[in-house]
């Protein structure tokens, strides 16, 4: 997990074995921190630490969604997917420890590009290919019996694609995936999963989604890379 270090002021706060160093970002369900994991004999490791937002920590739906994210993420081991280290609990609140990646999300990179300077075709193709490799791995994931789990990310957009400074692409936020197993707690009625500008038609219609939904969303991202403009853009959702 990556991002520019945001609000400081968490240097003295600890979460379990982790000392918070700053805020990397915040979404609708959780807040992401830069943290140091402390071990014995002076061992430290820089990680990204995600905690469910305080006002949602007592909500059973969001709590189960957070736990589902951790369970699914723990299964995903691929070079193009951010690694998850640990699910823990401290002071009654859950946290997920993930790899910290020096880099920036694709949304930030695209925001810096003007219409006259879109992403070069070969670079855009490489970004899309690495993203597609990570998605394909997740789509093909099976359980211990060999049965397909049926993962669908449902939120493929530039903010969830990290480009590291050494050229790797990593997919983030499998927390709202849809899966054929363990559906309980993975959705909250009335809450749209994804971003409208990067959603497939079946998502907007509330119909069933599958792996092709993610491919469609990735196509929107690729179009934006190649043109330097948003495919679907309006003042409001």
Tell me the pLDDT tens digit for each residue of 101-120.
Answer: 888 889 988 888 765 678 89
- Sort 216 into a burial class: Cβ within 10 Å, 0-12 / 13-18 / 19+: middle
Helix-helix angle 211-227:121-140, to 10 degrees: 170
Higher-scoring residue by pLDDT: 184, 148: 148
For 181-194, what is the mean pLDDT?
A: 51
Q: What is the pLDDT of residue 185?
A: 35
Pick the closest to residue 130 from 150, 111, 148, 103 (CA basis).
Answer: 103
Residue 176 has pLDDT above 60, yes or no: no
What average pLDDT does the structure give for the chain? 82
Statement: residue 194 has pLDDT above 50: yes
Of 80, 79, 78, 73, the closest CA to residue 98 belongs to 73
- For 118-172, how does the pLDDT look when each residue is reduced to its tens digit (9 = 90+)? 889 999 999 999 999 999 999 999 888 888 888 899 899 998 999 999 889 999 8
**Strand order across the beta sheet in which 103-105 lies:** 103-105, 161-164, 169-171
The answer to whether residue 155 is catalytic is yes
Q: How confident is the model at residue 184 (pLDDT cuts 50, 70, 90)?
A: very low
Model confidence pLDDT, tens digit, residues 206-236:
888 899 999 999 999 999 999 988 898 888 8
- Per the listing, tokens 């903010």 go with 159
- Of 97 and 68, the one with more pLDDT: 97
Going through 125-223 in order, the beta strands assigned E by DSSP cover: 161-164, 169-171
Catalytic position from the list 105, 155, 173, 214: 155
Q: Is the dihedral of CA 15, 51, 171, 23 positive or negative?
A: negative
Cα(103)–Cα(123) distance, integer angstroms: 16
Write down the pLDDT at residue 6: 43
- pLDDT on residue 191: 55
Residue 215's pLDDT is 96
Would you place residue 12 in the very low, low, confident or very high pLDDT band (cuts 50, 70, 90)? Answer: low
């Amino acid at each position: 997990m990556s991002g520019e270090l945001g609000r400081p002021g968490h240097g003295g706060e600890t979460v379990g074995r982790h000392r918070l160093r700053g805020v990397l970002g915040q979404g609708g369900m959780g807040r992401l921190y830069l943290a140091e994991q402390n071990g014995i004999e002076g061992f430290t490791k820089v990680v990204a630490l995600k905690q469910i937002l305080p006002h949602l920590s007592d909500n059973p739906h969001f709590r189960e969604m957070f736990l589902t994210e951790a369970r699914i993420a723990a299964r995903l081991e691929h070079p193009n997917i951010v690694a998850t280290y640990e699910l823990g609990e401290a002071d009654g609140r859950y946290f997920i420890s993930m790899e910290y990646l020096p880099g920036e999300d694709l949304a930030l990179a695209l925001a810096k590009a003007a219409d006259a300077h879109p992403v070069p075709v070969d670079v855009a193709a490489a970004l899309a290919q690495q993203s597609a490799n990570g998605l394909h791995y997740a789509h093909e994931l099976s359980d211990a019996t060999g049965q397909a789990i049926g993962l669908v990310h449902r939120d493929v957009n530039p903010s969830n694609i990290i480009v590291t400074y050494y050229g790797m692409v990593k997919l983030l936020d499998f927390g709202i995936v849809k899966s054929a197993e363990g559906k309980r707690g993975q959705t909250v009625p009335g809450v749209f999963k994804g971003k409208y500008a990067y959603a497939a038609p079946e998502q907007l219609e509330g119909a069933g989604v599958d792996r092709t939904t993610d491919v469609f969303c990735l196509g929107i991202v690729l179009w934006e890379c190649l043109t330097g403009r948003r495919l679907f853009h309006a003042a409001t959702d």
